[in-house]
Amino acid sequence: MQGRQPKWPGASQRRAIALLVAGLGLFTPALAARAAERDQGSAPAQDSPSAAVEVVRAAGARPLPQSSEDGIWTISAEAEREARLSPALITDPGLNAYVREIQCKVAVGYCDDLRLGVFRRPALNATVMPNGYTEVWTGLLLRATNEAQVAFVLGHEFAHFRGNHSLRQFESMRARQGALLALNIVIGAMATFDADFINYSQYADILRTAAYWGNIAGLFAFSREFEREADSVGQALMVEAGYAPDQAAAIWETALALQQASDNLQTRRLDTRGGIFRTHPITGERMADLAAGAERLAGPAGASLTLGAERHRAAIRPFLSDWLRDEIRRRDYGAMLALVERLRLGGDEGVMDFYAGEAYRLRRAAGDDVTALTAYQRATGFPDAPAETWRELAMILFRNDDKPGAIAALQTYLERAPEAADAALMRRTLDRWQTPSS
C-alpha cells in the first residue's frame, strides 16, 4: 500500500507553524526548567545572527517590494487576517484599550506600526509577528499580577519587532539550509510564552520528517541570542515607560511556581524530557541577568516606578470568572489552585473560593469533597460569589445527607440565576428533593 503523501501547509497550518516556531522564544513557562545545563558556560556561536551590533528598525519602515522580508510580511498578514476571524478574539473595548495603552507606552514612536489582538486562551502566551501584529492571550493577563509585568512582556515582544529578528533569523537560516525551508519555518517572530498549548499533532505530517526536525533544531540554537537581546531591551523599555524593572523576573517566577504546583509529574519534571523543544529554558543565568538589569535600571532610591497592580486587576476583573473557567478545563488542578491563591492576593474572594472549590471537586482526590464544601461555604459569604456556588454547594450537601441545606442552597441558586441554562433541570431537581418519600 502506498504511503500517504504529506500535504503542504495551508493558511491555518502556516499560522500554527508560525506560532510553533514562535513558541520556542522567550516565554515558554511550560518548558521553563529544561536544559539549564546547556546554557551553563557555553559561548554563543560565532555566526549567531545577533552577534553583531544591535539592529534597530526605523519607525514606519516597510519591506522593499519582492524582498525576502516582503514575503515574510505577506505570510504574516495572512496569519493576522485569519486570526481576526477567530471566535477566541476578545473585542471588549475596555480590555483592548488597556493592553494597547501599555503596548504603546513601551513602543514609543512605533505604536502605529503595531496592531494588537487579545485572545481568550488559557496559556501564558504573547506573540509578535514580523509585520508587527501582536497577540496577547488571557492566560498571560490572568497570571500577571500587575501592569508592569504585562509591560515587560510587550516590551520584549516589541524588541523582537524593532530588532528585525525574524528577517535576521530567516537570512541566517536561508544561508544554512535553503530559502524554501526557511521561509516556511521562520514565518513567526521569535517569542511566545507557552508553546505547549498548541496542538502539534495536527501538523505531524509536516514536522515528522528528519529534514524538518533537524532544521528546526538548528534554527533554535541561534534564537537564544535574540531572546537575551529582547530580555535586555524589553526591560529597559519598561523602565523608560515608568514601570518597575524587578517585575520582569517576577512573571518568570510565577510561571515556574505554577509549573511546580502542577498535578502532572511530567510537567513538573520537564527538564528530563528530550526532543528539540528544549531551547530557551528559564535558566539561572537568565534570571540573574534580569535581576542585575533591575538593579541597574531602578535608578536612585525613591525613584517613582509603577507596578499598577490595582489598575491591572480592575481591567481584568470583569473577565475573571470566564477566564478561570477556561483554566479549569485544562484539568491541571494543582496549577489551578496555585493560580487561584496568587489571584486571591488581589481580592475577589468569592470568585477565588468558588474556583478553588471547583478544582477540589473535579480533582476528586482523598478529602477533596470536604475541602470543596468548605470552599463553597466560604464563597457564599462574599458578594462576588458566582451563582453556581450555591448549585455546587447544594449537590455536595445532598450527597452528605443534608437535605434541608441542599434545598436552601438550590433555592438560592435559582433566585440568583433564574435564566440559567440548567434552571429547568434544577427546578425539577428541587421539586424531587422537596417531595416527601412515599
The maximal CA–CA distance of the chain, rounded, in angstroms, is 86
Instruction: Check residues 208 and 100 and name the one with the higher pLDDT.
Output: 100
Residues 271 and 351 placed together within one structural domain of the fold: no
pLDDT at 63: 87
Are residues 349 and 290 located together in one domain of the fold? no
Element (H, E) at 155: helix 147-162
Per-residue pLDDT tens for 298-330?
776 545 677 889 999 999 999 999 999 999 998
pLDDT > 70? residue 395:
yes
Domain with 196 in it: 11-297
Q: What is the pLDDT of residue 6?
A: 38
Task: Summarize the confidence of residues 430-438 as an average pLDDT.
Answer: 85
Q: What is the mean pLDDT of residues 374-402?
A: 96
For residue 150, the 8-state DSSP code is: H
Q: Which residue, 274, 297, 320, sits at the end of a domain?
A: 297
CATH code, domain with 373: 1.25.40.10
The arithmetic mean of pLDDT across residues 415-422, rounded, is 95
Residue 318, pLDDT score: 96
**pLDDT for the residue numbered 207:** 36
Are residues 205 and 149 part of one domain? Answer: yes
- Residue 361 shares a structural domain with residue 287: no
| Cβ density class 119-146: b for 16+ within 10 Å, e for less | bbbbbbbbbbbbbbbbbbbbbbbbbbbb
Lowest mean pLDDT across 19-33, 204-218, 285-299, 350-364: 19-33
Mean pLDDT of the 9-17 span? 48
Q: How many domains does the chain have?
A: 2
Q: Answer whether residue 2 is part of any domain.
A: no
Cα–Cα distance, 186 to 357 (Å, whole number): 43
In a domain, 237, yes or no: yes
Residue 393 has pLDDT above 50, yes or no: yes
Count CA atoms within 13 Å of residue 399 on its CB side.
11
Decide which of 403 and 26 is more confident: 403
Final residue before a domain boundary, out of 297, 315, 348: 297
Residue with the larger pLDDT of the pair 23 and 319: 319
Average pLDDT estimate for 395-400: 95
Q: Average pLDDT, whole number, for the chain?
A: 77
- pLDDT on residue 125: 84
Out of 31-40, 163-172, 216-225, 237-246, give the one with best mean pLDDT.
Answer: 237-246
Q: Please provide the DSSP assignment of 287-343 as one string.
A: HHHHHHHHHHHS-STT---B--HHHHHHHHGGGHHHHHHHHHTT--HHHHHHHHHHH
Determine the pLDDT at residue 317: 97
Same domain, 282 and 341: no
pLDDT tens-place string over residues 111-129: 999 999 999 998 888 888 8
* Paired sense of beta strands 133-137 and 115-119, if any: parallel
Q: What is the DSSP letter of 436?
A: P
The pLDDT tens digits for 217-263 are 444 433 677 888 888 899 999 999 999 999 998 988 888 888 888 88
Q: What pLDDT does 253 receive?
A: 86
Residue 412, pLDDT > 80, answer yes
Strands 126-128 and 115-119: unpaired
Which pLDDT belongs to residue 189?
Answer: 36
Q: What is the pLDDT of residue 201?
A: 39
Whether 255 and 384 map to the same domain: the answer is no
> What pLDDT is stored for residue 56 in this prediction?
85
Distance CA 186, CA 71 (A): 11
pLDDT digits (tens, 9 = 90+) for 347-384: 999 999 999 999 999 999 999 999 999 999 999 999 99
Given 297, 321, 346, the domain boundary residue is 297
Are 241 and 372 contained in the same domain?
no
Would you say 72 and 170 are in contact if contact means Cβ atoms under 8 Å apart?
A: yes
